[in-house]
Structure 1
């Protein structure tokens, strides 16, 4: 049963993703089995849109984070790259014996949502969601923009992954393409200067191939 599901997953990747050659080289030619994190649900073949399955989640604001977390766990489990979700730097002032936090504060501002290593290159990116057809740059704090720019200055890879809820589409765009004097980033701009990332079974957005084009 599991073998059939893995085969179907590869077929789905072949249908959706532009970087299928990466998977062919690493997992088929080398006869290496894919490792799926425990939270992946193996669903039977269906013509239903996968994104609608996830969009029914009660907390729609957590949708993009959940999908990216699924994706980076898949990458780490299969030796494709190492990526981590960066948590807020919090200082705990008072913690009870039962480990309940009674007093805490944010120690310093977070840089970006995610960071990692891919092909020996440091990668940092920020994930944003919007209900509009544009992303207001006010949603991105100045210190985050500055951090991503510095990563590029030191030859790292820095980009945004943006989810447009109404369109149900994901885009990836390099920090180099963003004009910081703009008030917003329209989806029409991303269609020309960025890349759309399909949501594929079992709930990942495979952005590795797009990083290859940016480094």
Structure 2
């Protein structure tokens, strides 16, 4: 869904977002079919997507959750560190979480994710519940595959600007 959305955004000259491949080392090959049958990850990946939206550097990771409770162990410490550094450099970092049982997507701003992360680090819940999320950042799938995360990015930018003025 996200890959197709990125293609549409590119077609409309709205964004250039690339999927970052996870580096692997093949262990076993099926030479006849030229396929890797066993491999391991070379290194930790940072995020799933990186690019630029109308001059704004963007990085984000896609996550999926079956239940209404999202375990923070699904977000890795190196990802949080990378996204934090990305934001410090003037970029925007976020998660897109698909709550499959509800068929709902959520745009999670980095500051929100960081708040849940810090809460867990300080002895609080090691997860967050669906009802803790900001309803303004719920995304409806459009045309069955279109993930309108640019709409949520615009709201995110508005809130950042408002915060900067205060």
Q: Answer whether TM exceeds 0.5 for this pair.
A: yes
SS in structure 2 at match of 1:145? helix
Report the 3-state secondary structure (helix = DSSP H, G, I; strand = E; otherwise coil) of the residue aligned with 1:203.
coil
Pairing of 1:1-215 with structure 2 (within 5 A): 67-92=1-26, 96=31, 99-101=34-36, 104-178=39-113, 179=115, 180=117, 181-182=119-120, 183-192=126-135, 195-215=137-157
- Structure 1: distance between partners of 2:59 and 2:147: 16
Match of 2:6, SS? Answer: helix
TM (normalized to structure 1)? 0.62
Task: Give the structure with higher Rg (CA).
Answer: 1
What is the CA RMSD across the aligned residues, in angstroms? 2.1
> 1 or 2, which has the higher strand percentage?
2
Deviation per CA, 1:115-146, whole angstroms, max 9, x where unpaired?
Answer: 11112121111111111112110111111111
Q: TM-score, normalised on structure 2?
A: 0.79
Q: Please report how far the alpha carbon of residue 94 of structure 1 lies from its aligned counterpart in structure 2 after TM superposition.
A: 7.1
Q: What number of residue pairs does the alignment pair up? A: 148
Cα displacement (A) at 1:97? 7.5
Structure 1: tracts of 5 or more residues without a match? 1-66
